[in-house]
Amino acid sequence: MKALKHFLMSPAAMLGLLLLVGIVGLAVFADLLYPRDPLGLAGRPLQWPNPAGRFLLGTDASGRDIAAQIAHGARTTLLMGVVSTLIAIAIGIVVGAVAGFYGGLTDDVLMRLTEAFQTLPNFILLLVLVVVVGSNITAVTIAIGVVSWPAVARLTRAEFLTLRNREFVQACRTLGLTNRWIIFREVLPNALAPIIVYGSVVMATAILLESALAFLDLSDPNIASWGNLIGQGRKVLRSEWYVSAIPGVAILLTILSVSLVGQGLNDALNPRLRNR
């Protein structure tokens, strides 16, 4: 309750939460707001935003409604960000937990594997995976999750190294509980708080990675995506800059909201910060 109260009393966290709720609401009600296909022809190409007209945010170079693409693209962006984050956290937890709990040779092998993944920048490795497995949204989401797990693994390992010799772990061993039970039922729940907080960083990075792929025409072109819209707008950036600027602002607000909520969770779940 103290953590929840501290979170609710944080102006930055509440601002982030309100922004995030608004973006989630836009994604949930996209079909009601814009029931037609967001990638279908809606009017003349490159009409400027007009709040009093038919197209609130204008049209792109193909004559598609930008507002419809923003609404439906919110669903794509959030779903991709959440799923890729869950994939990264799942892989990172398993690798980091096993490495931190067992130590020794197991720790050395898994950490060398983690360092091998971190040798190349995430985006370069992501480009390689997308070229190999394809650029549909499912493949892109899985690829982003696969390249994002090393930092989660190192954080999990650090938490397990501090917890594996605690009294409650020794008591579990005395009772004859299996290592798998101790890892996932006893130690992991005590290590989850910083991992959950770091999930906001992973999600923000995942959104940026997908947008960068779409900007390079390497993401799925058959779905409404903020990154795809930015990529289409680069061809008319000098004259109709709003085509790229509007989805850019949407991405900025989404990442800002996720970051503020993550920071609020960090302050609320960290006793040292909560008691300042």
Predicted confidence (pLDDT) at residue 4 exceeds the cutoff of 80 = no
Which of the two residues, 250 and 10, has the higher pLDDT score? Answer: 250
For the segment 179-198, the average pLDDT, to the nearest whole number, is 88
Percent of the chain with pLDDT strictly greater than 70: 96
Average pLDDT over residues 222-240: 84
Q: How confident is the model at residue 263 (pLDDT cuts 50, 70, 90)?
A: confident
pLDDT band at 270, cuts 50/70/90? Answer: low
pLDDT digits (tens, 9 = 90+) for 66-112: 999 999 999 988 999 999 999 999 999 999 999 999 988 999 999 99
> Mean pLDDT in the chain?
87
Q: Contact at 8 Å (CB) between 164 and 114?
A: no
Q: Which tokens hold the place of 256?
A: 């800002």
pLDDT recorded at residue 272 = 53
Binned at pLDDT 50, 70 and 90, residue 135 comes out as confident
**For residues 6-35, b (16+ Cβ closer than 10 Å) or e, as one string?**
bbeebeebeebbebbeebeebbeebeeebe
Please tell me the predicted confidence (pLDDT) of residue 45.
Answer: 87
Domain boundaries, the chain: 76-274
- The verdict on domain 76-274 having CATH code 1.10.3720.10 is yes
Residue 6 has pLDDT above 80, yes or no: no
Model confidence at 155: pLDDT above 90:
yes
pLDDT at 71: 93
pLDDT number for residue 43: 82
The reported pLDDT for the residue numbered 271 is: 54
* pLDDT of amino acid 275: 52
Average pLDDT over residues 216-245: 85
Identify whether the C-beta of residue 226 lies closer than 8 Å to the C-beta of residue 247. yes
> For 167-186, what is the mean pLDDT?
88
pLDDT at 5 over 80: no
What confidence tens digit (pLDDT) does each residue in 110-121 have?
999 999 888 888
Burial (0-12, 13-18, 19+ Cβ within 10 Å), 221: middle
Task: Return the pLDDT at 276.
Answer: 52
